[in-house]
Amino acid sequence: MFLKTVLADGKAEQQVIREMKQRAAAARSDIEKTVAAVMADVQARGMEAVREYAEKFDGKAPYIVSQETIDAAYERCDPTVRTALERAAENIRDYHEQMLARTWEYERAPGEKLGQTVRGLTRVGLYVPGGTAAYPSSVLMNAVPAKVAGVEELIMVTPPTENMSDAVLTAAKIAGVDKVIAIGGTQAIAALTYGADWIPQVDKIVGPGNAYVAAAKKMAYGTVDIDMIAGPSEVLVIADYTANPTWVAADLLSQAEHDKLASAVLLTDSMAQAQAISAEMERQAKELPRWEIIRESVEGYGCAVVFEELKDACAMANVVAPEHLEVVTDNPRQWLPYLKNAGAIFLGQYAPEPLGDYMAGPCHVLPTSGTARFFSPLSTDTFLKKTSVIEYSRGALENLADDIIALAKCEKLDAHANSVAVRFGK
């Protein structure tokens, strides 16, 4: 069979999970030493170092992409693509406006006012790959939530390729990116992390990149915030006898085509379905331009696991905690309460994973490699910071004074106790 198939027996499915975790480890290259040297050099020498690395790796010094260049790219962009990007941006904006956290305040008791201010970050850097990995949809998925959150300045960095993608620059214009700088690689992350002359330090860095960019973002964390460390893409499909094999096969292949480390896994309660979907995957894959990548992906990390009950498939899905989880069953909503860990859940025959990648509105920047157990998708929350607000009257503080003093003295922090005591002559 094209898609390796195993019967769940308590051990076979655990082996599938182990292989997926090893896949994530295999994706980590031994590049930290090189990246660390670049980061340290940029921190020490600023723009001089940035310019040297940019000329070495990008082929030219960094520069600001003019508004005229962006406007011209927008006009040149295929009208069909431009219309799709505008519609996608509208859907992303609409979805994220619904979930936007806001400043709030309440009075718990007379004289006790408590609350929280919610503000967008001041400055955010968005990394956008260049060349064959130029994805305008990722520009929208990162930039639109940032602007909805109220980020004051959104700076996009992207490699200065010979012909910078019209679609990427069009997406930047549609999303409201404030500045586009032509610079790529580790040097771009380093410049945004520490600041370098006219490239300002940002508060947070988001966006996908190669292994060098991922390592640089990891090292930047702590000096600035980052979104997440992304691993190889993955999809898990739970399907029963009602699922259309042709459609499920197409959905699995849509992830396998990303790269040879991508993982496409089917969980089902029907051996007949597993066999039919495997046959369809092979038939469709051979007709696709990225056949060789798909073949390596499926051979290395594709699998079908057949369970006696779908409830057990849900349990495995929670352990895997996949980036994308499709539920293609007779009544997909009945399984939703059982599914605890996933970046995004797609319910039913007409919610394929690419719907989420491009057009539905929820962000396609999702936790991978099992991190959906504790990470959430990128959203407006990614670009917000929250500050507690506390206001007490004299009477309200006096009512708590003895408790505060008792706890401070318990911790041997006498100055803390005195800070309250002096107000009331205690």
Q: Is 324 a catalytic residue?
A: yes
**3-class secondary structure per residue, 129-155:** CCHHHCCHHHHHHHHHHHHHHCCCEEE
Is 67 flagged in the annotation as binding? no
Distance, in Å, from the CA atom of 386 to the CA atom of 388, rounded to the nearest integer, reads 7
Distances (CA, A) of 51 to 54, 216, 223, 402: 5, 17, 21, 60
Cβ-Cβ contacts under 8 Å for 226 (sequence gap 6 or more): 204, 205, 206, 217, 218, 220
Is 15 flagged in the annotation as binding? no
DSSP secondary-structure letter at 392? Answer: E
Is 91 flagged in the annotation as binding? no
The one-letter amino acid at 371: T
Is 210 flagged in the annotation as binding? yes
DSSP secondary-structure letter at 337? Answer: G
Is 30 flagged in the annotation as binding? no
- The active-site residue, picked from 13, 96, 257, 324, is 324
Distance, in Å, from the CA atom of 358 to the CA atom of 15, rounded to the nearest integer, reads 33
Is 127 flagged in the annotation as binding? yes
Is 416 flagged in the annotation as binding? yes
Distance, in Å, from the CA atom of 140 to the CA atom of 167, rounded to the nearest integer, reads 11
With b meaning 16 or more CB within 10 Å and e meaning fewer, what string describes 113-138?
A: beeeebebbebbbbbbbbeeebbbbb
**Alpha helices for 166-223 (secondary structure H):** 166-175, 185-194, 211-220
- The active-site residue, picked from 323, 326, 353, 364, is 323
Task: Determine the distance from the C-alpha atom of residue 208 to the mean position of all C-alpha atoms in its chain, rounded to a whole number.
Answer: 8
Q: Which residues are annotated as a binding site for NAD(+)?
A: 127, 187, 210
Q: Which residues are annotated as a binding site for substrate?
A: 233, 255, 258, 324, 357, 411, 416
Q: Which residues are annotated as a binding site?
A: 127, 187, 210, 233, 255, 258, 324, 357, 411, 416
- Active-site annotation, residues: 323-324
